[in-house]
Amino acid sequence: MEYAVLGVPPDGPSLTLDWQTFAYAGKFEMTNTGKAVLREAGSVLAAAAFNGDREDDDQAWIRYLTVRSDRRGEGLGPRLVRNLRETLRERGYERIAIAVNNPIAYRALYRAGFGFTGRETGLAELVLTWPADRSEERYRAGLERFADRDLPEGQAQLLDRWLQETHLPEPVNGIP
């Protein structure tokens, strides 16, 4: 598996993804964000779009993260985020933020080393950052924010199971 950065702002890279295979595929056509991917045999398995924060030069944002539908659940999203996190640190960013809109993404980002800030965007997305408070109390506070939402059946079932767990989710591939 290969990690690659296709470009960073202001290079204006564009990435065409199949909309039937990748969520948010159209967002990767935009040229105002950098793009990073995980590939295998030349085929994109996961992609992320990112840019710097317009108000805070020390912070970058991961704007979109998507994993090929037939490869979800393999830890590819957290793996890509871990690699991108290192790339962004090398470019001088001290903090990295991402906003998530569902408990599956929330848990995956926690497993990738991010933590809930206690904040939500105006679109009811939970804001996670790296580095962050990754305590059990903070993790559960974020997870519980999804409990009152109208979630698809599969997400609701997973959320119920995760809220009953007595331990934190394991990091992916030793991600701190």
Higher pLDDT, 115 or 171: 115
Residue 131: what pLDDT?
94
Per-domain residue ranges of the chain? 1-93, 97-176
User: DSSP strand E in 53-156: where?
Assistant: 59-67, 95-100, 115-120, 126-130
Q: How many CB atoms lie within 10 A of CB 136?
A: 10
Residue 37: what pLDDT?
97
pLDDT confidence band for 174 (50 / 70 / 90): low
Query: In the Cβ-directed half-sphere of 5, how many Cα atoms lie within 13 Å?
Result: 19
In the predicted model, is pLDDT for residue 175 greater than 60? no
Per residue in 66-121, pLDDT tens? 999 999 989 899 999 999 999 999 999 999 999 999 999 999 999 899 999 999 99
Residue 13: what pLDDT?
87
* Among 12-21, 43-52, 153-162, the least confident range: 12-21
In the predicted model, is pLDDT for residue 176 greater than 70? no
In the predicted model, is pLDDT for residue 140 greater than 60? yes
22 Cβ partners below 8 Å, 6+ apart?
28, 44, 47, 66, 67, 68, 69
The predicted model scores a pTM of 0.90
Residue 87: what pLDDT?
94
**1-93 placed in CATH 3.60.21:** no
